[in-house]
Amino acid sequence: MSAGSDVLIIGGGIVGCACAYELAKRGASVTLLEYGKAGMQATNAAAGMLTPLGEHDAPNAIVRAGMEALRAYPRDVAALEERAGFSLELIQDGLLKVAFNDDQAQTLQRRSAWQRELGAPVEWLNGAMCRELEPRLSERVIGGVLSPQEAWVSNQLITLALQRVAEQLGARVIEGAPVTRFTRARGRISGAEAGGQTHAADTIVLAAGARAGQLAARMGLGEYVPVFPVRGQMVALGGMTTPIRHAISGLHGYLVPRANGLVFVGATVERVGFRRRTTNAGVRAMRALAEALVPQLAAAQQHFEWAGLRPGTPDEMPIVGPIGGSNVVAATGHYRNGILLGPITGRWIAAGICEGDWRGVPAEFSPARFAAGG
């Protein structure tokens, strides 16, 4: 049996690693269990977009939390880069959301009105202005909204930095350690067994992404954590001078230019259970999306394709906070906003566990909303 910790984190994606980092900063003893390799599940499958304004028709809790997270991201990245010693490839060149017809244009303009009220300096551009900004953009684009504050980061590198700095601060990160069962004492979860060892802790943080719902059910807390997998397929294109400078969103997908010269294209949204594999149809759809947005990409080489399982929830909001009267804390359900909300979720969890202060977490994210009568 291993020595006990103040906090046991289950799940080593960006959210779990951010929780470990923030808890260790506050002096808590932390053990993190990851059933595979840290950062290599849904986190690895993301494009790294930091785009809180997204596709919402009105401001809501996730938009406001995302804007708060985006404002803090440069500071978060700078602090991690200083400790980790490598660049996290934060690129703040903005997002261009484009329209191919009048209905799409009206939707973008309607959304931009409330986005400006939130303080986002979004700007409507006609088709010609869009192509001045991105000369290789399709001639079919009739207009778009430039959102200059939105950004992207290397999802792999920021998660690696969170893990490494957490370990520098004393956290134990154990990879290849799937949880086989939970232990109980005095009516509470007292720890978890993984790799033939029992890891005891005062508090359990459930940050297991798409598998969080399964684990919560094994704890007897499943009603609070109705998380399910949503597959997203992506492709990486290259073999040419990067044809775009901004991230581009349109036609229910996006293009993201990465620091290594590749363009990431994503992503499908599929309810197919835990089947984490690419399909010919999904890859073709991503290639067609890329060509429709930037025709030059039809000639790009396909360097690789991949798929990940996002943690979805019934209302597409994260589940963050204490679960009922238990000693289990949820940090999951971030769906398509895990990279954006990962660092701020770590701060929320650490403040709640170490200081008893859960005020930072939007009430809409509480696990209690799914409980009977909640």
Q: How many CB atoms lie within 10 A of CB 310?
A: 25
Name the DSSP class of 245.
S
What are the pLDDT digits (tens) for 153-205?
999 999 999 999 999 999 999 999 999 999 999 889 999 999 889 999 999 99
Say how far apart CA 227 and CA 136 lie, in whole Å: 40
Specify the pTM: 0.96
Question: Considering the domain 92-151+229-312 in this protein, what is its CATH number?
Answer: 3.30.9.10
Cβ within 8 Å of residue 120, ≥6 positions away: 53, 67, 147, 149
DSSP codes of every residue in 322-333: E-TTSSEEEEE-
The CATH classification number of 5-47+156-227+314-370 equals 3.50.50.60
Q: What is the mean pLDDT of residues 102-114?
A: 96
Q: Three-state SS string across 268-283, please?
A: CCECCCCCCCCCHHHH
Cβ 209 vs Cβ 219: under 8 Å: no
| Residue range 134-160, pLDDT digits in tens | 999 999 999 999 999 999 999 999 999
Residue count of the chain:
374
Q: What is the mean pLDDT of the chain?
A: 95
d(CA 339, CA 49): 7
pLDDT class of 338 with cuts at 50, 70, 90? very high
Give the C-alpha separation, 118 to 333, whole Å: 25
Tokens of 319: 């589940």
Q: What percent of the chain has pLDDT over 70?
A: 98
Residue 372 has pLDDT above 70, yes or no: no
- Give 2's pLDDT tier (boundaries 50, 70, 90): low
Distance CA 255, CA 311 (A): 22
Under the banding of pLDDT at 50, 70 and 90, the label for residue 54 is confident
How distant, in Å, are the alpha carbons of 5, 152, 193, 213 from that of 89? 33, 8, 37, 32
Cβ neighbours, 10 Å, residue 98: 25
Give strand ranges (E) for the chain.
5-10, 30-33, 49-50, 95-99, 123-126, 143-147, 151-152, 172-174, 179-185, 188-194, 197-206, 228-238, 247-250, 253-257, 263-266, 301-312, 319-322, 328-332
Distance CA 283, CA 301 (A): 13
At residue 374, the pLDDT reads: 53
b/e map of 136-156 (b: 16 or more CB within 10 Å)? ebbeebbbbbbbebbbbbbbb
Domain limits, the chain: 5-47+156-227+314-370, 92-151+229-312
Q: What dihedral do alpha carbons 289, 295, 299, 305 form, nearest 10°? A: -20
Distance CA 113, CA 169 (A): 44
Residue 288 to residue 46: CA distance in whole angstroms: 19
DSSP characters over 101-144:
SHHHHHHHHHHHHHHHHTT---EEEEHHHHHHHSTTS-TT--EE
Angle between helix axes 61-84 and 155-168 (nearest 10 degrees) is: 60
Contacting residues for 64 by C-beta, under 8 A, at least 6 apart = 118, 362
Both tokens of 85, joined, read 């010693």
The gap from C-alpha 203 to its chain's centroid, in whole angstroms, comes to 23
Average pLDDT (330-354) is 97
